[in-house]
Amino acid sequence: IREDGTLWAWGYNDSGELGTGTSEGECSPVRVSSASDWKSVTIGGEHSLGVKTGGSLWSWGGNWAGQLGTGNYSNALSPVRVGTGSDWAMAAGGESHSVAVKTDGTLWAWGANNHGQLGIGTWVDTNIPVQVGSGSNWKAVAAGNGHTLALKTDGTLWAWGENDFGQQGTGTWDACNFPVQV
C-alpha cells in the first residue's frame, strides 16, 4: 500500500492472488483495482485479503475451501467484497483459511477447518465468516498453515488448530478446534 492508499502486487499469480484481474504472474509492481482507500493487506496460501479505510473487507485469489468468505468456492481474479459490513479492523490469511477482527472486538473465521484452525468448535469448512466464540475482546489475529493465534485486549495469547509440531505453544501435541490460552 502506497501513501496515497493505492494497492500494488507482484509475483506468482496462478489463482489470481495478486488481484490484478488475470492469473498471469508479474515481476514488477502492478496496481490492484482503481481504489485508493486501502488501509491494510495480508496474504494467505494463494489468496489475499484487504481492509479499506471505511472498514469494508475484500478478498481475492484461490477459494477451493471458501477462504475468500464470499459464500461460494470460485476463485476471484480481482478483489470482491466479503459481506456488506463496514466494521472490519484487520484480517489475516492462512494456507486455506482466513480470520479477521471487527471493530467491536469480535473474531471471525472462514475457509478450511480440517485441523480446527477456524476455532469454531467443529471440523467443518465454511465459505462465509463465522464468529469464533462470543467474546468481544480480541485485538489481533495471525493465521498459519493449519493453525491460528490471536491476542486479546488483556494481553493474553490464544491458539487453536494444527499442532503436530507444537506450534500452538499450549504444552500438548493435540489439535484443538477452539481457542486455548497459551
pLDDT tens-digit readout, 157-181? 999 999 999 998 888 898 999 999 9
Please compute, for residue 93, the number of CA atoms within 13 A of its CA located in the half-sphere on the CB side: 27
> Is a pLDDT exceeding 90 seen at residue 3?
yes
CB count within 10 Å of CB 137 equals: 13
Check residue 170 and give its pLDDT: 86
Kindly report, residue by residue over 84-124, the tens digit of the pLDDT.
999 999 999 999 999 999 999 999 999 999 999 999 999 99
Cα–Cα distance for residue pair 111/92, rounded to 1 Å: 12
Asked if 144 and 92 count as a contact pair (C-beta separation under 8 A), the reply is no
Cα–Cα distance for residue pair 54/99, rounded to 1 Å: 19
DSSP secondary structure letter of residue 13: -
The average pLDDT across 8-36 equals 97
CB count within 10 Å of CB 83 equals: 15
Share of the chain above pLDDT 70, in %: 100
Average pLDDT value for the chain: 97
pTM across the whole model: 0.95
